[in-house]
Amino acid sequence: MAEITGGFLVPHDPVMFVAPDAPEADKAKKVWDAYETCAQRLADSAASSVIIIGNDHYMLFGTTCLPKYCIATGHVEGPLDQLPGLKKEQVSNHEALAQHIAQQGSDSGFDWAVARSFTTDHAFSIPYKLIVRRAEEISGRSITAIPVYLASAVDPFITKARARQLGEQIRAAVESFDSDEQLFVIGSGGISHWVGVKETGKVNEAFDHQVIDLCCNADIDGLAAYTDEQVLENGGNGAMEIRNFICAMAAANASRGELIEYQPVPEWVTGLGFIELKKG
């Protein structure tokens, strides 16, 4: 069986790329360094593939078909929304495992929408570049990456309870995959941020710390207990992305999380939290 042996919860903040010098240098450096820490830890692990759980921002999927969750099972490139320092590139997917996750889902009541040829957005591509590609550089080994997209920013949203079940299904599928590969999972998003609304630029440190504590305690129940109204009120529409955290935590089945870094950065309109998911 293959196994998910670790993972991270990290942000995917495009403003870092567009306005790298907006915050004070020390703060900015801590955030970039946090990605580097994740990359180093991935490089130090034996993982040969990473499942990145992100969400569309009403760009990849349109009003003619909004999936609750979608997995890329074939060709992958991205991001569609290129940024300075984040250009479109071909992505090395783990097609066999992705197809197995979709198939095992279909057999167990999880009706994955499937992307046979997919273009990612920054939700996948930021952690892919800063963690996966960087870990490849550091370690000199190849690491594939599977894009998973949840409906966390466009309604009808996936429920938090279903995001958790989906994470459990991903784990079961990985463990029934005929290989001895080790995997990491990355929950991409959050924490508090307000996108495209008049509160933009607000960061709610108290909410962010609540979320971080729940993640570090591996308290999925606690995360799932937030109502959407509470999340919207306290964390903004961007914080609906805690669904991605929940799914990744359930997939990793971590017993705890370790805070790598937290920086509230209004200049980057986001409370940026980095957590490593630890097993055992």
Interface residues with its own copies (CB under 8 A) are 60-61, 63-70, 74, 102-103, 106, 109-119, 156, 158-159, 162
Instruction: Name the token pair of 277.
Output: 């998911």
Burial of 280 (0-12, 13-18, 19+ CB in 10 A): exposed
CB of 87 to its own copies, least distance (A): 19
Q: Which helix (H) or strand (E) holds 162?
A: helix 160-175
110 vs 226 by CB, closer to its own copies = 110
Is residue 242 within 8 Å of residue 159, measured between CB atoms? no
| Per-residue mark of binding to another protein, 150-189 (x: CB under 8 A) | ---xxx----------------------------------
DSSP structure class, residue 61: S
Q: Which residues, at least 6 apart from 162, have a Cβ–Cβ distance to it below 8 Å?
A: 68
103 vs 237 by CB, closer to its own copies = 103
| Per-residue mark of binding to another protein, 233-262 (x: CB under 8 A) | ----xx------------------------
End-to-end CA distance of the chain: 18
Residue 113: beta bridge partners?
70
Instruction: Name the token pair of 212.
Output: 């971080």
155 vs 213 by CB, closer to another protein = 155
Within positions 199 to 228, which residues make up the interface with another protein, using CB under 8 A?
199-202
Using CB under 8 A, list all residues that contact another protein.
Answer: 12-15, 18-19, 22, 57-59, 62-64, 74-75, 77, 80-81, 83, 90, 95, 116-117, 122, 153-155, 193, 195-202, 237-238, 266-270
